[in-house]
């Protein structure tokens, strides 16, 4: 079992290799409700104008603006109400000079009218209730177009306001539904298999035997994948034997786009993953990156399948999942922006330790304070410390050889924020 000597690859170079390989999966046409969480394959063309007809923005009267010229308290303009239209109704008559149509919010504006006067701006002559056949008085002129939303003003039929590579969420669902785009083309959901290596692991409930620990990487990664909107199958744990790993991953590579394993990837006695990767004929994108935590991270591909071999230490798995796994998968899922947002921030707390020749990633909490980004990395950074995940919404990136202090400007990865604005 000769394991090849490997050189550490710079983190950005390793990421670039993943992104260069990652291409979007197939596009599928799906009902809008099923597209939620997916990325658009192309900008959907809106099938309908929004609104689909000229409609009133207020409860009021549809009038001809020209009729109201010169109206005042002393010289009101008197109009006769010829019809009443509620939302969902349709006017049967046109507004001729001297007439008005009582028109509720959301109702179509009768032909001939070019403005709506809100109820509260209308005076009723003695004995009139302002209904059909009765008179109303206007005491001020109105401008053409007032309180009317014209057909297609909001969204025009044939336009594509949502571009390719945007994620379908509540905003997009509202826009597409209102324009009648009930089916859209998105990149299909990724299928991801998870496998946690380690003879010491217990997956799921039940008492721990002596020497056992519980599998936390599986549930952590399953949560990450699910929250991105993809399908995930947690295959649980497998023992530290090349044969077992080969068998489990071989099957998974056939049925899933992505296989993620954790553990058994460094140079310990039972680190069998590199051998399994060789046995399965994977082409390696890189073996080991110059980072801490997560140095053993290794990524290989076979055909259009990719295998992320993340280290088993929970913090290493957490960091490498954010640096490599999630961005690459977002690109495979069709996202036009796949990386989390990176900004500078003022360091308000830091862990112990000194500079090392690797890029360090400190788990941290970032927030905005009086218009500037602040980040606190003053927490345990031991790879094995899972409590350090609590509240960690950011990573502080510390370049090789550097050692920023409190008050210094540092680079922060905001783990829950996308890198580019939504394109509309
Ligand atoms: P490995 O990368 O397999 O050498 O594992 C490194 C450390 O992480 C060991 O202490 C393992 O027990 C622990 N570890 C490995 N896999 C998991 C897992 N799925 N959940 C929690 N801890 C793990
Ligand atoms: Mg292990």
- The predicted model gives 323-338 an average pLDDT of 97
| 306 CB neighbour count, 10 Å cutoff | 25
Mark whether 66 and 15 lie in a shared domain: no
Q: Domain for residue 376, yes or no? A: yes
CA–CA separation, 25 and 258 (whole Å) = 12
**Strand pairing class (298-302; 283-287):** antiparallel
In this structure, the answer to whether residues 220 and 323 fall within a common structural domain is: yes
149, 182, 212 — which closes off a domain? Answer: 149
Residue 37 lies in a domain: no
Query: How far is residue 261's CA from residue 58's CA, in Å, rounded to a whole number?
Result: 59
279: domain CATH number? 3.40.980.10
Give yes or no: residues 128 and 87 share one domain: yes
Tell me: pLDDT of 294 over 90: yes
Which structural domain range is residue 80 located in? 55-149
**Which pLDDT tens digit goes with each residue over 126-173?**
999 999 999 999 999 999 999 999 999 999 999 999 999 999 999 999
Distance CA 30, CA 113 (A): 41
Q: How many CA atoms lie within 13 A of 357 on its CB side?
A: 2
Do 296 and 212 share a structural domain?
Answer: yes
Same-domain status, 223 and 306: yes
Nearest residue (by CA) to ligand 1, atom 17, is 312
- pLDDT more than 70, % of the chain: 98
For the Cβ of 274 lying below 6 angstroms from any atom of ligand 1, the answer is: no
pLDDT for 171-221, tens place per residue? 999 999 999 999 999 999 999 999 999 999 999 899 999 999 999 999 999
Give the model confidence (pLDDT) of 36-90 as tens digits: 999 999 999 999 999 999 999 999 999 999 999 999 999 999 999 999 999 999 9
Residues 216 and 115 in one domain: no
Q: Are residues 319 and 361 in the same domain?
A: no
376 and 301 within one domain: no
**Residue 364 and residue 307 share a domain:** no
Buried b / exposed e along 144-167 (16+ C-beta atoms within 10 A): eebbbbebbeebeeeeebbebbbb
Which value, in Å, is the radius of gyration of the alpha carbons in the chain?
31
Q: Is 32 inside a domain boundary?
A: no
SS (H, E, C) the chain: CCCCCCCCECHHHHHHHHHHHCCCCCEEEEEHHHHCCCEECCCCCCCCCECCCCEECCCEEEECHHHHCCCCCCCCEEEEEEEEECCCCCCCCCCCCCEEEEECCCCECCCCCCEEEEHHHEECCCCCCCCCCCEEEECCCCCCCCCEECCCCCECCCCCCCCCCCECCHHHHHHHHHCCCCEEEEECCCEEEEEEECCCEECCCCCCCCCCEECCHHHHHHHHHHHHCCEEEEEEEECCCHHHHHHHHHHHHHHCCEEEEECCCCCCCCCCHHHHHHHCCCEEEEECECEECCCCCEEEEECCEEEEEECCCHHHHHHHHHHHHHHHHHHHCCCCCCCEEEEEEEEEECCCCCCCCCEEEEEEEEEEECCEEEEECCCCCCCCCHHHHCCCCEEEEECCCCCCCCCCEEEEEEEEEECCCCCC
Q: Are residues 196 and 222 in the same domain?
A: yes
Give the CATH number of the domain where residue 345 resides: 2.40.340.10
Instruction: Tell me the CA–centroid distance for residue 268 and ligand 2, in Å.
Output: 8
Same domain, yes or no, for 235 and 272?
yes
Q: The domain that contains 109 carries what CATH number?
A: 2.170.190.11
In-domain check, residue 2: no
Per the CB < 8 A criterion, the answer to whether 334 and 38 are in contact is yes
Question: For residue 1, is pLDDT > 50?
Answer: no
Nearest CA residue ID for atom 7, ligand 1 = 313
Q: Residue 40: inside a domain, yes or no?
A: no
Residue 171 domain-assigned? no
Q: Give the pLDDT mean for 342-356.
A: 97
Question: Is residue 145 situated within a structural domain?
Answer: yes
For residue 240, give the ligand nearest its CA: 2
Question: What's the CA-to-centroid distance between 270 and ligand 2, angstroms?
Answer: 7
Same domain flag for 194 and 328 = yes
Q: In whole numbers, what is the pLDDT of the chain averaged over residues? A: 96
- Please report the pLDDT score of residue 111 as a whole number: 98
Number of domains in the chain: 3
Domain boundary among 291, 314, 332: 332
Mutate to test the pocket of ligand 1, among 197, 198, 298 (most ligand atoms within 8 A of CB): 198
Ligand 1 pocket test, pick from 196, 242, 312 with the greatest ligand atom count within 8 Å of Cβ, gives 312
Residue 5 confidence (pLDDT): 58
- 131 in any annotated domain: yes
Of 286, 305, 332, the residue that ends a domain is 332
pLDDT digits (tens, 9 = 90+) for 381-400: 988 889 999 999 999 999 99
Q: Which of 38, 18, 41 is nearest to 306 (CA)?
A: 18
| From 313, 318, 385, mutation site for ligand 1 pocket: most ligand atoms within 8 A of C-beta | 313
76 CB-near residues (< 8 Å, 6+ apart): 123, 137, 138, 139
- How open is the CA angle 322-327-331, to the nearest 5 degrees? 165
């Amino acid at each position: 079992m000769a394991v090849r000597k490997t050189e550490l690859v710079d983190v950005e170079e390793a990421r670039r290799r993943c992104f260069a390989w990652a291409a979007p999966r197939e596009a599928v046409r799906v009902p809008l409700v099923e597209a939620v969480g997916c990325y658009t394959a192309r900008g959907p063309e809106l099938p309908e104008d929004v609104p689909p007809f000229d409609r009133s923005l207020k409860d009021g009267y549809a009038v001809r603006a020209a009729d109201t010229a010169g109206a005042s308290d002393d010289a009101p303009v008197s109009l006769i109400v010829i019809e009443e239209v509620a939302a969902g109704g349709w006017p049967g008559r046109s507004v001729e000079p001297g007439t008005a149509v009582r028109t509720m919010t959301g109702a179509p504006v009768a032909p001939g009218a070019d403005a709506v006067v809100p109820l509260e701006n209308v005076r009723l002559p003695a004995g009139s209730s302002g209904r059909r056949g009765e008179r109303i008085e206007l005491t001020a002129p109105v401008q053409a177009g007032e309180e009317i939303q014209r057909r297609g003003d909001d969204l025009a039929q044939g336009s594509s306001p949502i571009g390719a590579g945007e994620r379908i969420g509540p905003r997009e669902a509202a826009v597409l539904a209102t324009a009648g785009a009930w089916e859209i083309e998105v990149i299909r959901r990724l299928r991801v298999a998870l496998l946690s290596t380690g003879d010491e692991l217990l997956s799921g409930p039940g008492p721990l035997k002596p020497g056992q620990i519980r599998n936390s990487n599986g549930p952590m990664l399953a949560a990450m994948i699910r929250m991105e909107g993809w399908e995930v199958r947690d295959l649980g744990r497998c023992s530290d034997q090349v044969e077992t790993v080969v068998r489990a991953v071989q099957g998974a590579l056939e049925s899933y786009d992505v296989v993620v394993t954790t553990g058994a990837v460094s140079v310990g006695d039972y680190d069998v993953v590199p051998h399994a990767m060789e046995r399965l004929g994977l082409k390696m994108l890189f073996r080991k990156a110059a980072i801490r935590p997560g140095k053993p991270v290794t990524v290989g591909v076979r055909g259009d399948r990719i295998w992320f071999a993340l280290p088993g230490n929970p913090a290493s798995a957490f960091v490498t999942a954010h640096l490599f796994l999630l961005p690459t998968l977002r690109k495979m899922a069709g996202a036009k922006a796949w990386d989390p947002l990176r900004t500078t921030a003022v360091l308000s707390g830091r862990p112990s330790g000194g500079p090392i020749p690797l890029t360090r990633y400190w788990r941290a909490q970032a927030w905005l304070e009086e218009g500037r980004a602040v980040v606190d990395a003053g927490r345990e950074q031991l790879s094995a410390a899972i409590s350090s995940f609590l509240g960690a919404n950011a990573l502080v990136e510390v370049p090789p050889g550097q050692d920023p202090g409190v008050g210094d400007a540092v680079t922060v990865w905001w783990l829950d924020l996308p890198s580019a604005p939504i394109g509309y």
